[in-house]
Structure 1
Amino acid sequence: MIKKEDSLAVSPETEEPGKKGAFSFSGYVDAYYSTNFNKPLSQRNVGTAGTARVFDQRADQFALGLAQTVVKYTNQKSEVVVDLVFGPNADLANYANLGTALAIKQAYFKYDITEKWSATIGQFGTHIGYEVIDAPVNFNYSLSNLFGMGPFYHTGLKSTYAFSEKASLMLGVVNAVDGFGDNNRKKGIIGQFFISPAKDWSIYLNAIRTNDENPSSSGVVPVAYYQMLDLATTYQVSDHLLFGLNAAIGSQQLTDSTGAKPWGGVAGYVNYAITEHIGIGARYEYFDNSSGARALLDFQKNGTSVNSLTITGNVTLAEGHVLVKPEFRLDAYAKRPNGAREFEDTKGAFTHNNQSTLGVAFIYKF
């Protein structure tokens, strides 16, 4: 499993004779077609609150996802990464660049203080979660609600110490979540503990705690913490079979007068490689935002919960450069006490609590 802070595997490095450093260039482009069995009038999969899907939001049409370019320079003691994304989905994961369709996904440099100890400063992808923004890295094309509720990236300083190949600790200080700058003088704390207790078994324990509230007119910052604990783990049972799990709990206090509102979820993954070039995988997820703390809301902007099942195929072509991913997904939302529904029908009325989509994604990575 590759964490959100990691980039795609880069292309072979080219190094000038007599130079210690090396440049690399990589990226991808993805597009998809999806049909929604509810046939919503808006031709969108997002539901009443606009948050039912993260990236694959369009229905019954072809759509572009992201185009990514990553430039990396490395030498024996340091590394610098500039990771840019373009296209319709760039806005959805980079709030600081909203409306530009061009976003800095990552821009940071890392210095190896010793062989085991490194420091990174800049904007980097979040350590939290199982899935990543990069479409070629995830087995499923559509993203989980755990991913969609964030965070996506951080701006700050972090340091990692590797006790061994099987254990490491990362701690960092960051600005407000999913933003370049900070809206107050307080800083957030992030952390990750990695351990591999057995061969082919990886466990990541992740955390964040920050106060992103705006100061009052007198300069006082309300006590309103955003905090989250996250577990992501994979076990490669055999060359063909992989199990994965992501579980998270969090809370958000919006003002001094309101108590902390909780949310949480769990997602299980199973991937099976039928052949070297053909695989199939499934994800089941339950996400509970009944308190209304995050963006998963009903038509009245109240909190809700959802069960999701996703089944994805994976066909690899062109020596690994082309990925074709047919996918079925079912989202079943909790029934509301007032009988209101979450999803559109062909006339634009919200008459469905469930949503099923079937589509195929096409990805080219280089």
Structure 2
Amino acid sequence: MKKTLTALFSLFLAVPAFSQDKEEDKGKFTFSGYIDSYYLSNFNNPRDMKNTGASGTARAFDQKTGFSLGLAQTKIGYSTSKSDVVLDLTFGPNADLGNYGNNIGPLGKDGSSSLIIKQAYFNWKATDKFTLTAGQFGTHIGYEVIDAPANYHYSLSNLFNNGPFYHVGVKAAYAVSDKFALMGGIVSGVDQLYSNNNKPGLIAQVFVQPTAGWNVYVNGITINRNSKDPVTGVTPTGTYNLLDLTTTYQVTDKFLFGLNAATGEQGGKTWGGIALYPKYDFSSTFSLGARYESFSNKDGVTALIDAKGNGVSVNSFTITPTFTVADGHLLLKPEFRVDSYDKNFFVDGDGKDTKSQSTFTWAMIYKF
């Protein structure tokens, strides 16, 4: 009898542990997002209240002066030991601009809910080192991203503005080690959910960590672009090739240095540039960062062109202090930026053509 009671008592104790293991296998939901808004002043005092220049593409998101809502994000995730799924929904002016290639749906331009989908993909963790991804996902190319909390500066670089925002397709990643990884994939287009291109493109990435604190990403894409651009209405010809280098080095515990360089080619015409990103953390609540960028589109192959349709080059300097308050949830970013072009690109408040533009932005970003 004593042995029987002992066995039953042991079984009773084992049940909670078994249930706990099962509970852990069910996976985990996550919910996050952010809201950003800003006030922008343009020292040229343009009559149309815009900061976008002759081609309308000098700024990716912060396109008008005054107060504005940027973007509201709701990001839902579900993760298990073998899989992940991410649904990243965005709303607001910057969401429309960042997802411009999704504005045409099966019911036409006025009948699509695809515009709110920034990302929608799933991962299958086939092994501890090998992962497969399918759906719509953010691009691997570049230093900056659409999400305002992830960037140090509020305004975005020309390298970001002229590079891909997202892709639709499949990709596979293999982590050889913590210091070396590879990614390759097949995508249907560049910044377009629907593409009439029957020749899919290829994307690739190589990650290397030469030493602790130094991360290097070499990124690439090649694709035959023959779909009409939803914004410009232009149908590009020839193969679109882009090679991108993104690297960060944690010089000290407080000083981070980043670099982004890219060169692109299509139909024998080229564009490219380089951007430098020094940042110093004075404390947990205050930091100061700068960005210097030189970008050239003299062949006129990307959207950055003057009023006559000729390609331009530009040098830009941005400096931004960041104040982190409200237990890390609220980021306050007063930003000053100067853009100097090699040709007349802007029009001031008196209607005169000018090569340069200076802006001041007070950005407010709440993340959760």
TM-score, with normalisation over the residues of structure 1? Answer: 0.88
For residues 75-119 of structure 1, the C-alpha deviation after alignment (integer angstroms, 9 at most, x for no partner) is 000000000110011121112333779421100000011110010
Listed as ranges, the matches of 1:1-366 within 5 Å are: 17=23, 19-59=25-65, 61-98=66-103, 102-214=115-227, 224-253=238-267, 260-335=268-343, 341-347=344-350, 349-366=351-368
Partner of 1:4: none
Structure richer in helix, relative to its length: 2
For residues 109-158 of structure 1, the C-alpha deviation after alignment (integer angstroms, 9 at most, x for no partner) is 00011110010000000000000100001111100000000200000010
Note if contact 1:26-1:71 (Cα within 8 Å) is conserved in structure 2: yes
Displacement of 1:43 after TM fit?
A: 0.9
Displacement of 1:303 after TM fit?
A: 0.7
Note if contact 2:216-2:248 (Cα within 8 Å) is conserved in structure 1: yes
Q: Aligned letter for 1:56?
A: D
Helix, strand or coil for the counterpart of 2:97?
A: helix
Q: Aligned letter for 1:110?
A: N
Displacement of 1:163 after TM fit?
A: 0.4
CA 1:222–1:58: 2 relative to 1, 3 Å: closer
Runs of 4+ in 1 over 4 A off after TM superposition: 15-19, 99-102
Q: Aligned letter for 1:240?
A: K
Measured in 2, the distance between the counterparts of 1:18 and 1:278 equals: 39
Note if contact 2:180-2:207 (Cα within 8 Å) is conserved in structure 1: yes
Helix, strand or coil for the counterpart of 1:90?
A: helix
Deviates more, 1:92-101 or 1:61-70: 92-101
Displacement of 1:214 after TM fit?
A: 5.0
Measured in 2, the distance between the counterparts of 1:209 and 1:171 equals: 12
Deviates more, 1:99-108 or 1:165-174: 99-108
Higher relative contact order, chain-length normalized (CA < 8 Å, sep 6+): 1
For residues 155-204 of structure 1, the C-alpha deviation after alignment (integer angstroms, 9 at most, x for no partner) is 00100000001110000000011111221210100000000000000000
* Unpaired stretches in structure 1, ≥5 consecutive residues: 1-14, 216-220, 254-259, 336-340
Q: Aligned letter for 1:88?
A: P
Helix, strand or coil for the counterpart of 2:93?
A: coil
Helix, strand or coil for the counterpart of 1:249?
A: strand
Note if contact 1:154-1:174 (Cα within 8 Å) is conserved in structure 2: yes
Q: How many residues align?
A: 334
Measured in 1, the distance between the counterparts of 2:38 and 2:190 equals: 29
Partner of 1:218: none
TM-score, with normalisation over the residues of structure 2? Answer: 0.88
Q: Percent identity?
A: 54
